[in-house]
Amino acid sequence: MVYILRVNMSDLSIKKETVPEKYQLMGGRALTSHIINAEVDPHSHALGPNNKLVFAPGLLAGTPAPSSGRLSVGTKSPLTGTIKESNAGGVAAQKLARLGVKAIIVEGQPKDDKWYILKIDNEGGQLLPADKIIGKGNYETGELLRAQFGEKAGVISIGPAGENKMSAASIAVADMEGHPVRHAGRGGTGAVMGSKGLKALVIDDTNAPGVEIKDKEAFRGAAQAFSKMLLANPTCGTGLPTYGTAVLINILNEAGGLPTENFKRGRFEGAEKISGEFMYDTILARKGNPTHACHPGCVMRCSQIYNDAEGNYLTAGFEYETIWAFGADCCIDNLDQIAMADRLCDDLGLDTIEMGVTMAVAMEAGVIPFGDGEGMLNLLKNEIGKATPLGRILGQGAAFTGQAYGITRVPVVKKQGIPAYDPRAVKGIGVTYATTTMGADHTAGYSVATNILKVGGFVNPLGTEGQVDLSRGLQIATAAIDSSGLCLFVAFTVLDEPEALPKVADMLTAQYGVKVTVDDITELGKAVLRVEREFNTRAGFTPAHDRLPEFFANEPVPPHNTTFDIAGEELDKVFNF
Amino acid sequence: MVYILRVNMSDLSIKKETVPEKYQLMGGRALTSHIINAEVDPHSHALGPNNKLVFAPGLLAGTPAPSSGRLSVGTKSPLTGTIKESNAGGVAAQKLARLGVKAIIVEGQPKDDKWYILKIDNEGGQLLPADKIIGKGNYETGELLRAQFGEKAGVISIGPAGENKMSAASIAVADMEGHPVRHAGRGGTGAVMGSKGLKALVIDDTNAPGVEIKDKEAFRGAAQAFSKMLLANPTCGTGLPTYGTAVLINILNEAGGLPTENFKRGRFEGAEKISGEFMYDTILARKGNPTHACHPGCVMRCSQIYNDAEGNYLTAGFEYETIWAFGADCCIDNLDQIAMADRLCDDLGLDTIEMGVTMAVAMEAGVIPFGDGEGMLNLLKNEIGKATPLGRILGQGAAFTGQAYGITRVPVVKKQGIPAYDPRAVKGIGVTYATTTMGADHTAGYSVATNILKVGGFVNPLGTEGQVDLSRGLQIATAAIDSSGLCLFVAFTVLDEPEALPKVADMLTAQYGVKVTVDDITELGKAVLRVEREFNTRAGFTPAHDRLPEFFANEPVPPHNTTFDIAGEELDKVFNF
């Protein structure tokens, strides 16, 4: 039986609910966003008892579909005040799907300050005391939980940042080695989990019934064909497995779109020393692993194991955005310091993008100087990690830190830190930052693909023409992919290979026994955006919020010396569909 | 010549401009709100070069009209993000009016970190270096400026809070003794002044031409009649001069509407020890002055001189809201500690309402215990005063502090702290808090008058009936009064004495030589609200923001155990005019 698990933290009750008809062909983001919009009053305090936290594997989770292990986390964001979906890799989604868990809805709030573990297995869910892991980082939490519940248990957890309800707090999902390096990072989902008194979820899929596939043969055929296309694609089959996402450092630097020194310029003099190529060489020299999958069945394997100079494990899932944020944006060119920042964020449970952007704002405020890698690590470990007043400022993110210090050059949209692509040099991504339902988010409509990587055609990154149409199409497609459970990186193939998306439709058709067309997938994407917009509108968001901070319009960014000059009325056309 | 002084801090230019026709019959709030709406892009960062700060005396300022010395300060608020008008007593407005200054518009931003004094005299304005007063509190700033520019100079200044761009920072206006105790308190106007590099304004009205009155005799007659009515009114003529606004402590406590322990209940066990009656006795015993005017010509004289136990001056302008905020809301019943908090806020340049509400939220977060008066003074002096990280959290106000500590019971509307009347026990004021263009503000439509004091009729404070109409009428009237330069306390007379408002119309008619009717005054109030709403709408505010925090609907407040149960659709009718 496929079911929804409803966990009420106010009375500690757990219910298995049948999946309503309308949610049958939804998964991942489609499901989290529909549930949040239907069940949460947009006026609720994000950290109060009336907000909810929803976990949902994608539609293809738990099947042999390649790279289909994304787990969506949905809630009202304490960072942005908008609806939020943030998804992560790791092993949890597939285990949940195999157990028949369509979604977990966590609601209410414990009346006392008790903390809980939600254990999910073939019997259902139960709440257990979390006393022994409270205050622990995600690494130790995972070790203790696997010691208690078995080495194969899937772990979802928050670190001290989530316990302290910081708006930059993430939810960590352990990967195949049990490392807590895959995160539902953006928007403070970890703070919501903390507000629910939930320290961790443990998923034991022993004797799980597995996912029912109506037409196994048809599914296998479509999955194999899709897999083959992914492997044949230069980005998905070669670029990502070799260099990981950090391959983008040199590319964006060359394009003049690598935000440097808190978005003052688009090229970083130390780019080479933090590049994917440099990282690859370093990993090989230290006997790490440059090519690593975050969940079973991923064929793109963009993760890696990054060892320290002594050859000991330091971090994994070391992404371009993280390296940019703590690197170029903070003028730090020491990859080991950046790797340690990544490790600390994984352990404390913090969004690396938000924290890197925050550090650069703190540097602009003079808290520490630009380029001070050791100072940055100290802030992460001893201020944020210990929840000192300064740590509580930084842990609330870039907008908050900017306000605390009276800084006006704060790169955020809807209070969420702007990621690793300067919107003045890559204008298509600026359209996405401004308009997405999520606050500044590159994954919501990755126009960089077409602006810079020339995937899915080419739209001049420095021009204003075509950017709105580009972002609209990508936002719709992304909402659909985020609902499927497929990793967004399949888009590099889908955008250039006309036969790829039909294979996704074929897999869904074979699995659910209902004809799903490519048009249905597009319509699902549109439906997701519509409910997200509906929530945000009811929460008080208007086109006035779909704008970049004024300094992007007023300050030209070198080397191209361009500003973000797409008019507000143009941005307002993104959702004309 | 009456003129507008435009001060550009980017190029340090100062221009005298003729007053446009449309602004001739505007003053105070009407003028600041119209100018801000016309000249400031609502998307501008409140602390950036594109925000402006406008000072405007009221229409009757500088005339012999009683109690007409209010100075309006308008800007886009860094606290709320809305348009903001905050007005204060003190001597500045009358001096400016006598010099012919209709308004001062401060715009731009110094390119370096230099600080300036704006000196205004019969020649116009000039910018002088402020090096010697930077970092000083408002008390010492005033002393140094009067030593430099003469004892009669009017001083407007910011303290360290404004220099540090804290969202709770106020602008101080010195009273007749030169004490910096009258503040444009709410909404962070002081931070905007700080962002302009302006530490102080000094006004020397030597040889000022004075205010032209077209029909002196008619004016004198109307002014005298109006004055007589004020003195005959029990509140204006007796209550306020005797006990000051603190007379409300016992009244609100009795009504069960005195928010206590961060709005957990409506009665404070220590109310008697912080009451107006107790304060009156204390002042007399210490040879202070219970009855004191904040500017020449005020007949209500609600201010006082409060001495310490040794009989030395401690503070003045010691208001009900201040005593409530640091008293009942923080469970502190030591009036001397509260007076010291008032003094520290005056000196640091902080809004006492915002700071008291913030302290209660910090107490809820466990930063210090409820009732810890010495701890509170320490936070003000050594954390906020020294701009430590904790001070930077608290100095940004209640909403910010609540977020830093993950507290959900945070009494704010549009991020501005809710003042001294519980909206569950005095529902008419709840309507005003929710809907005013200013963020939670009691003065914007003081329904307490009719709900509790039975001025202007009676509307049951615990019922839902009639509250929206009451708030609407008061918000319109207040916007007009705030434009006249009259102290809002004249409303106690105006609401009960049908002949009072016609006298205001007669004064305006006599002064400006243009027929002004009571209807014209009402229309002016409506026009003010309309431009303020227009600005806020363009800034992205919607009816979704015109709501109280959810805990007021969900948590009944003792002793009446009532919630705020006026529906959102009803609140949305406030601006139906």
Tell me the two tokens of residue A503: 């294979």
What ipTM score was computed for the predicted complex, to two decimals? 0.96
Average pLDDT over residues A306-318: 97
Reading chain B (577 residues) residue by residue, the pLDDT tens digits are 899 999 999 999 999 999 999 999 999 999 999 999 999 999 999 999 999 999 999 999 999 999 999 999 999 999 999 999 999 999 999 999 999 999 999 999 998 889 999 999 999 999 999 999 999 999 999 999 999 999 999 999 999 999 999 999 999 999 999 999 999 999 999 999 999 999 999 999 999 999 999 999 999 999 999 999 999 999 999 999 999 999 999 999 999 999 999 999 999 999 999 999 999 999 999 999 999 999 999 999 999 999 999 999 999 999 999 999 999 999 999 999 999 999 999 999 999 999 999 999 999 999 999 999 999 999 999 999 999 999 999 999 999 999 999 999 999 999 999 999 999 999 999 999 999 999 999 999 999 999 999 999 999 999 999 999 999 999 999 999 999 999 999 999 999 999 999 999 999 999 999 999 999 999 999 999 999 999 999 999 999 999 999 999 999 999 999 999 999 999 999 999 9
Residue A511 and residue B191: Cα distance in Å, rounded?
60
Per DSSP, A303 falls in state E
Average pLDDT over residues A342-352: 98
B406 in contact with chain A, both atoms CB, cutoff 8 A: yes
Tell me the two tokens of residue A414: 């809807």
Inter-chain CB proximity A544 and B42 less than 8 Å: yes
Inter-chain CB proximity A45 and B550 less than 8 Å: yes
Interface test with A, best of B113, B167, B390, B392 (most A CBs within 10 A): B392
Residue A358 and residue A397: Cα distance in Å, rounded?
6
pLDDT at residue number A249? 97
With 90 as the cut, is the pLDDT of residue A111 above it? no
Is the Cβ–Cβ distance between A432 and A475 less than 8 Å? yes
The packing angle between helices B216-232 and B500-512, to 10°, is 160
With 90 as the cut, is the pLDDT of residue A61 above it? yes
pLDDT at residue number B306? 97
With 90 as the cut, is the pLDDT of residue A113 above it? no
Of A45, A48, A404, the CB nearest to B392: A404
Q: Which residues of B touch A404 (CB under 8 A)?
A: 389, 392-393, 396, 400
Residue of A nearest to B383 (CA): A389
pLDDT at residue number A137? 98
pLDDT at residue number B182? 97
Distance between A218 CA and the closest CA of chain B, angstroms: 49
A400 in contact with chain B, both atoms CB, cutoff 8 A: yes
Of B400, B405, B551, the CB nearest to A403: B400
Confidence of residue A259 (pLDDT cuts 50, 70, 90): very high
Of B164, B165, B408, the CB nearest to A45: B408
pLDDT digits (tens, 9 = 90+) for A373-410: 999 999 999 999 999 999 999 999 999 999 999 999 99
Residue B564 and residue A560: Cα distance in Å, rounded?
55
B111 in contact with chain A, both atoms CB, cutoff 8 A: no
Confidence of residue A112 (pLDDT cuts 50, 70, 90): confident
pLDDT at residue number B111? 87
Is the Cβ–Cβ distance between B270 and B68 less than 8 Å? no
Put simply, the chain B residues between 187 and 216 with a CB less than 8 A from any chain A CB are 191, 194-195
With 90 as the cut, is the pLDDT of residue A289 above it? yes
Residue A109 and residue A106: Cα distance in Å, rounded?
9
Inter-chain CB proximity B167 and A396 less than 8 Å: no
pLDDT at residue number B112? 87
Residue A207 and residue A209: Cα distance in Å, rounded?
6
Inter-chain CB proximity A404 and B396 less than 8 Å: yes
Inter-chain CB proximity A544 and B539 less than 8 Å: yes
pLDDT at residue number B442? 98
Inter-chain CB proximity A540 and B539 less than 8 Å: no
Pick the CATH number of B3-203 from 3.40.50.880, 1.10.275.10, 3.60.9.10, 3.40.50.10860: 3.60.9.10
Residue B287 and residue B458: Cα distance in Å, rounded?
38
Inter-chain CB proximity B408 and A48 less than 8 Å: yes
Residue of A nearest to B192 (CA): A406
B538 in contact with chain A, both atoms CB, cutoff 8 A: yes
A41 in contact with chain B, both atoms CB, cutoff 8 A: yes
A396 in contact with chain B, both atoms CB, cutoff 8 A: yes
Residue B359 and residue A484: Cα distance in Å, rounded?
48
Distance between B67 CA and the closest CA of chain A, angstroms: 36
Inter-chain CB proximity B540 and A539 less than 8 Å: no
A402 vs A194, A272, B351, CA distance in Å?
A: 24, 30, 21
Interface test with A, best of B45, B164, B534 (most A CBs within 10 A): B45
Of B194, B389, B538, the CB nearest to A544: B538
Is the Cβ–Cβ distance between B384 and B170 less than 8 Å? no
The 10 Å Cβ neighbour count of residue B502 is 18
Question: What's phi and psi for A428, nearest 5 deg?
Answer: -60, -40
Question: Looking at the domain that runs over A423-555+563-577, which CATH code has it been given?
Answer: 1.10.599.10
Average pLDDT over residues A268-286: 97
Inter-chain CB proximity B550 and A48 less than 8 Å: yes
Residue B502 and residue B522: Cα distance in Å, rounded?
12
The 10 Å Cβ neighbour count of residue A1 is 9
Distance between A193 CA and the closest CA of chain B, angstroms: 12
B436 in contact with chain A, both atoms CB, cutoff 8 A: no
Three-state DSSP class for residue B62: coil
Average pLDDT over residues A562-567: 98
Q: Which residues of B65-83 are buried (b: 16+ CB within 10 A; e: fewer)?
A: bbbbbbbbbbbbbbbbbbb
Residue of B nearest to A50 (CA): B550
Interface size between A and B, measured as CB pairs under 8 A = 97
Q: What average pLDDT does chain A have? A: 97
Residue of A nearest to B542 (CA): A540
Query: Where in chain B are the domains?
Result: 3-203
pLDDT digits (tens, 9 = 90+) for A10-21: 999 999 999 999
